């Protein structure tokens, strides 16, 4: 397995481009199951999770072209999906266990094909992550749900519109129910819906396909069911978490970086905390410029559903806090076990105390490079950030997780002056 090797201490300077959003692309690719024909999606990030979703859609009977070949070259960011006939309705354990977002085929399969058999995802490195809200919603729409041999089997001749009240705002749950409701008979309301930009983006895509969705981006989403949807062409929004990660890299290294092609309105909470940490953040044509402060100020953060501070940026801000002058407190409210990076950061010299969902971080004058590894995506990104400011060499092992969510991060950071490279064949 590859590792990422970093020699710390470089100040980052220059422009960096943000890729398309992974968490927007995954439900959008799954939504192609609601149509018959060929849809083309642009600005899709070239990531392992996208490949996994394409593989799953192929198992179900779709044909997936990714990347699209153009003569001798290939466009790495275009996916064409043709979903003429569905030959299977099973999302197997082998795929679901590598990517929980596989559960996003559940809603579309029941809605258009009357049945779905999806492996229960099981526990995950960052928390239990049940899917009870997805199932409760489908049941309210008339689906019969059974658990068989580790699989959820959902059946419905045709779903019917219903009032769906989520106990908690769940991102993929809202997406599954919104997709299911587009082809249900009658009107559905999703209350306490997740408001993340990725939910709004999916609604845009569904409406392009001919669906009638209103209110996405607010806690109440209304969907009038239609009889069929048609294939489309669409370019995916930029990845706000990749953008946020680059912004922290700039602040942390006292750099001066223009983060290109991001949408600042998706990053309000992140930008506010960067400013509290002392960074200068300015909107410019083409992106957002971040200048790091001479002295990083401590920041207190509580993760929240959007528009609050995203849990997917918690680990990266913790690294910023390790270099602050003073004490920061982070409260993780979304996932119960999302502090997997703490022990590794401690090995690099960070001073962090965990008490349940609370982390108290006392800034230290220096971190030191070390071999480290992480068991989830954002934790891996935080170790890369720590490596950028640590003295000496850091080797981030098991980059499998990183590659699920960051497109060639080392190639993107190197032109900014980072001394970072991929090394093959480490443990
Ligand atoms: N939850 C339930 N029951 C459910 C669904 C969720 O109890 O039926 C709980 C979860 O256990 C968690 C909370 O609700 O405590 C919120 O989870 P949510 O369902 O919103 O998370 P998700 O949809 O599984 C998406 C992203 C995650 C991101 C979270 C939170 C995708 C594919 N994944 O997950 O992204 O952390 O929302 O914003 O959109 C990542 O990209 O690294 C990542 C983990």
Spatial contact of 143 and 164, defined as CB atoms under 8 Å apart? no
What mean pLDDT comes out for the span 389-396? Answer: 98
Residue 356 neighbours by CB distance under 10 Å: 9
Identify the band that residue 247 occupies on the pLDDT scale cut at 50, 70 and 90: very high
pLDDT at 291: 98
Identify the band that residue 313 occupies on the pLDDT scale cut at 50, 70 and 90: very high
| Residue with tokens 């996003």, as numbered in its chain | 104
What mean pLDDT comes out for the span 42-69? Answer: 93
Provide the token pair at 259. Answer: 């983060």
The predicted-structure confidence for 212-232, as pLDDT tens digits, reads as follows 999 999 999 999 999 999 999
Helices 240-252 & 268-276 angle (0-180, nearest 10): 10
User: In angstroms, rounded to a whole number, what is the distance separating the alpha carbons of residues 243 and 100?
Assistant: 23
User: In angstroms, rounded to a whole number, what is the distance separating the alpha carbons of residues 305 and 337?
Assistant: 17
Identify the band that residue 122 occupies on the pLDDT scale cut at 50, 70 and 90: low
User: Which residue's CA is the nearest one to ligand 1's atom 11?
Assistant: 129
How many A from CA of 305 to the centre of ligand 1?
Answer: 10
User: Which residue's CA is the nearest one to ligand 1's atom 6?
Assistant: 170
Spatial contact of 58 and 64, defined as CB atoms under 8 Å apart? yes
Selected catalytic residue, list 54, 124, 166, 262: 124
Residue 212 neighbours by CB distance under 10 Å: 14
| Residue with tokens 């071999």, as numbered in its chain | 371
User: In angstroms, rounded to a whole number, what is the distance separating the alpha carbons of residues 386 and 319?
Assistant: 6
User: Which residue's CA is the nearest one to ligand 1's atom 25?
Assistant: 171
Q: Which atom of ligand 1 is nearest to the CA of 377?
A: 42
Look at residue 276 and tell me whether its pLDDT is greater than 80.
Answer: yes
User: Which residue's CA is the nearest one to ligand 1's atom 28?
Assistant: 312
What mean pLDDT comes out for the span 303-328? Answer: 98
How many A from CA of 12 to the centre of ligand 1?
Answer: 32
How many A from CA of 371 to the centre of ligand 1?
Answer: 29
Spatial contact of 250 and 33, defined as CB atoms under 8 Å apart? no
Helix/strand/coil for 280? strand
How many A from CA of 172 to the centre of ligand 1?
Answer: 6
User: In angstroms, rounded to a whole number, what is the distance separating the alpha carbons of residues 29 and 49?
Assistant: 11
The predicted-structure confidence for 69-113, as pLDDT tens digits, reads as follows 767 667 889 999 999 889 999 999 999 999 999 999 999 999 999
Percent of the chain exceeding pLDDT 70 equals 97
291 by Cβ neighbours in 10 Å (0-12 / 13-18 / 19+) ranks as: middle
User: Which residue's CA is the nearest one to ligand 1's atom 2?
Assistant: 130
> Residue length, the chain?
427
Helix/strand/coil for 238? strand
Pocket of ligand 1 (CB under 6 A): 23, 26, 101, 127-134, 168, 170-173, 194, 198, 311-312, 334-335, 377-378, 405
Q: What are phi and psi of 200, to 5 degrees?
A: -60, -40
Calculate Rg over the CA atoms of the chain: 21
pLDDT at 124: 65
Q: Which atom of ligand 1 is nearest to the CA of 101?
A: 32
pLDDT at 123: 61
Residue scoring higher pLDDT (68 or 147): 147
Annotated catalytic, 262? no
Look at residue 204 and tell me whether its pLDDT is greater than 70.
Answer: yes
User: Has this prediction a pTM greater than 0.75?
Assistant: yes
pLDDT at 427: 63
| Residue with tokens 């959007």, as numbered in its chain | 306
How many A from CA of 388 to the centre of ligand 1?
Answer: 29
């Amino acid at each position: 397995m590859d590792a990422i090797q970093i020699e710390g201490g470089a100040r980052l300077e220059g422009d960096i481009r943000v890729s398309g959003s992974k968490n927007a692309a995954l439900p959008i690719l799954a939504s192609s199951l609601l149509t018959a024909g060929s849809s083309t999606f642009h600005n899709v990030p070239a990531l392992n999770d996208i490949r996994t979703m394409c593989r799953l859609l192929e198992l179900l009977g779709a044909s997936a072209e990714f990347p699209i070949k153009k003569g001798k070259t290939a466009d790495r960011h275009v996916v064409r999906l043709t979903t003429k006939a569905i030959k299977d309705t099973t999302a197997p354990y082998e795929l679901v266990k590598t990517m929980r977002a596989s559960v996003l085929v559940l809603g579309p399969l029941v809605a258009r094909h009357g049945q779905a058999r999806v492996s229960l995802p099981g526990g995950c490195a960052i928390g239990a992550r049940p899917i009870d809200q997805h199932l409760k919603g489908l049941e309210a729409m008339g689906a019969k749900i059974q658990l068989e041999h580790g699989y959820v089997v959902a059946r419905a001749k045709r779903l019917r519109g219903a009032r769906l009240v989520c106990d908690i705002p769940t991102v993929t749950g809202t997406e599954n129910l919104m997709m299911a409701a587009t082809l249900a008979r009658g009107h559905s309301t999703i209350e306490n819906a997740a408001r993340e930009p990725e939910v709004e983006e999916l609604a845009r895509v569904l409406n392009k396909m001919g669906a009638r969705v209103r209110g996405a981006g607010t806690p109440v989403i209304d969907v009038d069911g239609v009889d069929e949807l048609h294939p489309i062409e669409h370019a995916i929004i930029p990845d706000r978490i990749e953008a946020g990660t680059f912004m922290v890299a700039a602040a942390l290294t006292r750099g001066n970086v223009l983060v290109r092609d991001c949408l600042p309105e998706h990053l309000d909470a992140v930008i506010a905390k960067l400013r509290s940490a002392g960074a200068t953040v300015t909107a410019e044509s083409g992106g957002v410029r971040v200048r790091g402060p001479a002295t990083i100020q401590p920041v207190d953060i509580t993760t929240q559903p959007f528009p609050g501070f995203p849990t997917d940026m918690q680990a990266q801000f913790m690294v910023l806090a390790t270099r602050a002058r003073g004490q920061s407190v982070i409260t993780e409210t979304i996932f119960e076990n999302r502090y997997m990076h703490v022990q590794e950061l401690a090995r690099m010299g960070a001073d962090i105390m965990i008490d349940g969902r609370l982390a108290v971080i006392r800034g230290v004058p220096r971190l030191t490079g070390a071999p480290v590894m992480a068991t989830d995506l954002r934790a891996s990104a935080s170790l890369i950030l720590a490596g950028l400011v640590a003295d000496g060499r850091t080797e981030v092992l098991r980059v499998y997780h990183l590659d699920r969510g960051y497109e060639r991060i080392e190639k993107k950071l190197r032109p900014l002056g980072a001394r970072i490279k991929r090394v093959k064949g480490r443990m």
